């Protein structure tokens, strides 16, 4: 099965703290998808774990990569996750 990836530059003012992490996890769970988040430093975690994502210490300006198995809803899910990390 193929995988969709999206690089996002984090634009959340105080970095990826509890509120955005909770929203990322909620979105992934709502879609029933396994979503992996990787930092530019090579750390990778599953978005199902709030603590694992928090432990990454992602700051505003950091670049991350989101990865999800390709499905009909995958692109929409990546759009929603990206909007949490880099709100317009």
pLDDT at 15: 87
Overall domain count for the chain = 1
pLDDT at 53: 95
15: left (phi over 0), alpha (psi -120 to 50) or beta: left
C-alpha to C-alpha distance for 36 and 25, rounded to whole angstroms = 11
pLDDT at 81: 97
Q: Determine the structural domain holding residue 81 and report its residue range.
A: 3-85
Active site (annotated) includes residue 17: yes
Closest by CA to 78, choosing from 22, 57, 70, is 70
State the pLDDT confidence band at 66, using cuts at 50, 70 and 90: very high
pLDDT digits (tens, 9 = 90+) for 71-86: 999 999 999 999 999 9
pLDDT digits (tens, 9 = 90+) for 22-64: 999 999 999 998 999 999 999 999 999 999 999 999 999 999 9
Q: 70: helix, coil or strand?
A: coil
Positive or negative, the CA dihedral 79, 49, 56, 17 is positive
Considering 4, 6, 15, 17, which one is annotated as catalytic? 17
CATH code, domain carrying 57:
3.30.1340.10
């Amino acid at each position: 099965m193929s995988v969709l990836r999206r690089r996002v530059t984090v634009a959340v003012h105080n970095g990826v703290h509890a509120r955005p992490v909770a929203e990322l996890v909620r979105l992934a769970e709502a879609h029933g998808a396994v979503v992996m988040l990787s930092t530019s430093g090579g750390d990778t975690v599953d978005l199902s774990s709030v603590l694992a994502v928090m432990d990454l210490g992602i700051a505003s300006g950091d670049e991350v990569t989101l990865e999800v198995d390709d499905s009909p809803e995958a692109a929409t899910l990546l759009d929603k996750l990206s909007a949490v990390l880099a709100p317009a």
